[in-house]
Structure 1
């Protein structure tokens, strides 16, 4: 996390969400490229995940712009919307990690590819890092 934001919590957490949503979208491509024999159901699901994560990434970027332009003087309504967006991002990352675990354990292509299993574990670890950050910040606000 970029701690140079100091007490600028909304911008700090949005910065993290923006970065990790982009990473998760890129990870869908990595998984597809790494397993050329991946079953079509997982290929299709990864393409859907990529689209969803890119959409979330763009949504977070819009909020970063709103917070930046407000000079971090957020109305209570905007502040609440930021917290709800972060909560959504957290839940989305939880679902994404569950999907990644499913690919790792149920895909025959992954089962026969030790490198893919290691990479999927790394992808899960990275998403869980964001989940931990988001949880910490959300819990601090409650």
Structure 2
């Protein structure tokens, strides 16, 4: 993501969050499809994550709609809510990364599947990208 958006940066991060929360949601499906013999505890965790990421994605979409309807003029309160959502999304991505790392290192089904390991590494890197841009925005907004 480019950082030359200036005051429109919070709107840009909502676009990123919308995209990456949807990606992470889809990644739960990819992992389950790629490793059909994945242990039940991980299948259940991924199903729960799918629902949680979908819910966050919907919240982000609602915020984008609110910002668009406001004529792209963010009140201080709305700006603060956007930053809280970005912070929540960042923390959620960190937790999702943790789950993916756990699956990669502890799942017997994944240990025998080099493709699954490579895909999990890719999924982790993608979520880390979102974490990085979210952190940059949040640190930029601190007084």
* TM class by smaller structure: over 0.9
Match of 2:100 in 1: 100
> Distance between the aligned counterparts of 1:5 and 1:69, measured in 2?
20
- The structural deviation recorded for 1:7 is 3.1
How large is the Cα RMSD of the aligned pairs?
A: 1.3
1:1-142 alignment, distance < 5 Å: 1=1, 5=5, 7-142=7-142
How far apart, in 2, do the equivalents of 1:4 and 1:130 lie? Answer: 17
Q: Distance in 2 between matches of 1:7 and 1:91?
A: 24
Equivalent-residue separation in structure 2 for 1:6 and 1:34 (angstroms): 41
Shift of 1:71: 1.8
TM-score by length of 1: 0.96
Aligned mates of 1:67, 1:10 — CA distance in 2: 10
| Structure 1 residues 122 and 93: CA distance shift in structure 2, 3 A | same
Length, aligned pairs only: 142
Q: Which moved more, 1:71-80 or 1:99-108?
A: 71-80
TM norm structure 2? 0.95
d(CA) in 1 for partners of 2:104, 2:90:
21
Separation (CA, whole Å) in 1 of partners of 2:76 and 2:56? 22
CA distance in 2, matches of 1:89, 1:62: 14
Gaps of 5+ in 1: none
Distance change (3 Å), C-alpha of 1:4 and 1:135: closer
